[in-house]
Amino acid sequence: SVPLSFFGGIGAASKHGILIKGSNYMETLSDVTRIVFDKTGTLTKGTFTVTDVQSDQYDRKTFLHLLALAESHSSHPIAKSILEANKEPIHESDVDSVEEIAGHGVKAVIAGHTYAVGNQKLMQQLGLNVPAGTGMGTMVYAAQDGRYIGYAEIADTIKPDSKDAIQEMKAAGIAKTVMLTGDSQSVAEAVAANVGIDEVHAQLLPGDKVDCLESMMTNETEGTLAFVGDGINDAPVLTRADVGIAMGALGSDAAIEAADVVLMNDSLKDIPKAIHISKKTLKIAR
């Protein structure tokens, strides 16, 4: 039977916008020693803006229009930022075909030309060398008919309370923090250094995230593991972790459903709060 105090704990958490889907997750939360984070939309806001555009082939306006046409069918946050930066009209009939390549970018046929728009990995598949990024921004490269034509640099913003939240987690007894991301090593390391994350795994494809988490979980001596995410890609990882924590405001429905704990205010500071409430509740119950 479930001790009555557990209901009190779940109620106390819900007042802070922390939804705990069962009393057993309070036990798990109180034991957590490792927290693994998705980057985009979890540690960062996940809203991108185009900060730089470079093309030797086209002027800025034409180049952005081409990128926007190629990205017009994608719902990725990167695609949204490019569509926002573009001021030219987008006609469905301008795009002959599009294909989204998970963890890489998009391929499109526009006015008889083939375009590839995405990260360095996508360009490598075409045998193309591309300029390195400046650091913080995500580089979106473009190729036309197999030839490199330019890039757009896109910047995300770290959530203002991510750094404090990580510190509070460490004070609450979290021994290790880890980031998993599909983004490049340089962007991942810059964000990790900024917020105080201990370990980084970058350039992961959606499936790689589960593999990475599973290999961490075989190392049981390191203890109970929580995963925090927001995207559709994060759902399988949220399910696999000892306790899955999802962003409830801007998170995807798939992530919210797969999670055991939902943060309605999307604030990572609610994680140390949830840990404290769980520990207090467990103390009363035991």
Using CB under 5 A as the criterion, which residues of the chain lie in contact with Mg ion when the complex forms?
38, 40-41, 230-231
Cβ-based neighbours of 131, under 8 Å, separated by 6 or more: 151
| Smallest gap from residue 229 Cβ to Mg ion (A) | 6
251 binds, among ligand ADP, Mg ion, none (CB under 5 to 8 A by kind): none
Q: Can you state the angle between helices 162-171 and 270-285, rounded to 10 degrees?
A: 30
221 to 240: interface string for ligand ADP, x by CB under 6 A: ----------x-x-------
**Helix (H) or strand (E) run with residue 167 in it:** helix 162-171
Q: Which of 19, 43, 117, 123 binds ligand ADP (CB under 6 A)?
A: 117
For the question of residue 38 being annotated catalytic, the response is: yes
Looking from the CA of 61 toward its CB, the CA atoms found within 13 Å total 3
Neighbours of 205 (CB within 10 A): 14
Candidates 3-11, 102-110, 129-137, 190-198: pick the segment binding ligand ADP (CB under 6 A). 102-110
Spatial distance between the Cα atoms of 216 and 210, rounded to a whole number of angstroms: 10
- Told to check if 104 binds ligand ADP by CB under 6 A, we report yes
Cβ-based neighbours of 101, under 8 Å, separated by 6 or more: 107, 118, 122
Strands 105-110, 95-101: pairing is antiparallel
Q: Which of 31, 38, 156, 230 is catalytic?
A: 38
Q: Under rule CB under 6 A, which residues in 149-188 are in contact with ligand ADP?
A: 181-183
Q: Which two tokens stand for residue 40?
A: 């985009």
Q: Which of 8, 17, 196, 206 binds ligand ADP (CB under 6 A)?
A: 206
- Tell me phi and psi for residue 164, to 5 degrees: -60, -40
Residue closer to Mg ion by CB (options 38, 270) is: 38
Residue closer to ligand ADP by CB (options 34, 39) is: 39
Residue closer to ligand ADP by CB (options 28, 138) is: 138
Q: Which of 16, 76, 80, 170 binds ligand ADP (CB under 6 A)?
A: 76
Q: Which of 20, 69, 79, 274 binds ligand ADP (CB under 6 A)?
A: 79
Cβ-based neighbours of 264, under 8 Å, separated by 6 or more: 17, 18, 19, 248, 249
What amino acid positions are annotated as catalytic residues? 38
Binding stretches for ligand ADP (CB under 6 A): 39-40, 71, 74, 76, 78-79, 103-106, 117-119, 138, 140, 181-183, 206, 231, 233
